[in-house]
Amino acid sequence: MTTETAVPGWVAGTWTLDPVHSHVGFVIKHMMVSKVRGHLAVVEATIVTAEDPLQSTVTATMDAGSITTGNETRDAHLASADFFDAEHHPKWTFESTGIRIVDDEWLIDGTLTIRGVSKPVTLGMETPGFGPGNTEGSMKAGFSATTTINRSDFNVDYNGPIPGGGMALGDKVDIILDIEADLVP
pLDDT digits 0-9 by tens, 106-162: 999 999 999 999 999 999 998 888 988 877 778 999 999 999 999 899 988 877 776
DSSP state of 156: -
Terminal alpha carbon distance of the chain: 26
pLDDT digits (tens, 9 = 90+) for 74-110: 899 999 999 899 999 999 999 999 999 998 889 999 9
Which of 175, 119, 171, 177 has the alpha carbon at shortest distance from 145? 177
Whether this prediction's pTM lies above 0.85 is answered by: yes
Helices and strands per DSSP (H, E), number in the chain: 2, 11
Give me the pLDDT at residue 4, please: 40
Count how many Cα atoms sit within 13 Å of the Cα of residue 158 in the half-sphere of its side chain. 10
% of the chain exceeding 70 in pLDDT: 94
Return the closest-CA partner of residue 91 out of 152, 40, 157: 40
Closest CA to 127 of 112, 141, 109: 141
Could you give the CA distance from residue 159 to residue 65 in angstroms, rounded to a whole number? 19
Q: Which domains does the chain have, with CATH numbers?
A: 3-183 (2.40.128.110)
Is the pLDDT assigned to residue 9 strictly greater than 90? no
What's residue 166's pLDDT?
Answer: 67
How far apart (Å, rounded) are the C-alpha atoms in residues 46 and 48? 7
